[in-house]
Amino acid sequence: MKADVSKIDATTRAIIAATQGGLPLTAQPYDAVGDVVGLSGAEVQARMQAMLAGGVIRRIGAVPNHYKLGFNANGMTVWDISDEHISELGQKVGALEFVSHCYHRPRHLPHWPYNMFAMVHGKTREEVKSHAKEITAILGNSVNASDIIYSKRILKKTGLRISS
């Protein structure tokens, strides 16, 4: 599912650029965005509604910082799942409430046998391990190998950045 920048129009791109750092915390944020991109607040709302409906925007809302909220033991769980079942099982794992990202990625044999990544959030490593067990139960016989890779240090983290 690769889209090029050229596939979204200039106004959509301008709205994404103007809101990527967050909506302004003022009483009428869409008016403020409109001032930046040259539209009325109502037009910004309508555009964002259309972007939601079209899937360009997945959701609009508060983006919590898991670490600051005490979810310190986030584990990247990685799985080697048989190719014929990955689609069905990936959707089940992606729907779990403690999973924030779930992707199919390529294997790099022999160094890297895993083809599914699921980011699991927990307050302790014990909690992450028990969530991983729940995933193992869902995967049943289709899983050949798995691992939990914990983060040690965040060396750089910035949000999506595009220029307008």
Partner 1 sequence: MFETDKKLLNDFQRDFPLVPRPFAEIGRSLGISEGEVLEDFTRHIENKTISRIGAVVRPGTVGVSTLAAMKVPQEKLIEIAKIVSSFDEVNHNYEREHSFNLWFVITAPNESRLQEVLAEIENKTGITPMNLPMEHDYHLDLGFKLKW
Residues numbered 89-128 forming contacts with partner 1, rule: CB under 8 A: 90-91, 93-95, 97, 99-106, 108, 111-112, 116-117, 121
Say whether the peptide bond before residue 110 is cis (omega within 30 degrees of 0): yes
Applying CB under 8 A, the site for partner 1 has a residue count of 77
Residue-by-residue DSSP string for 23-36 = --SSSSHHHHHHHH
**Nearest CB to partner 1, comparing residues 141 and 156:** 156
Assess contact for 128 and 78: CB atoms under 8 A.
no
- For residue 39, CA distances in Å to 13, 56, 63, 161 come to 13, 19, 25, 22
Tell me if 10 contacts partner 1 by CB under 8 A: no
The secondary element (H helix, E strand) that includes residue 131 is helix 125-139
Binding segment for partner 1 (CB under 8 A), chosen from 13-21, 128-136, 138-146, is 13-21
Binding segment for partner 1 (CB under 8 A), chosen from 38-46, 128-136, 137-145, is 38-46
**Nearest CB to partner 1, comparing residues 92 and 133:** 92
Tell me if 145 contacts partner 1 by CB under 8 A: no
Assess contact for 88 and 158: CB atoms under 8 A.
no
Tell me if 20 contacts partner 1 by CB under 8 A: yes
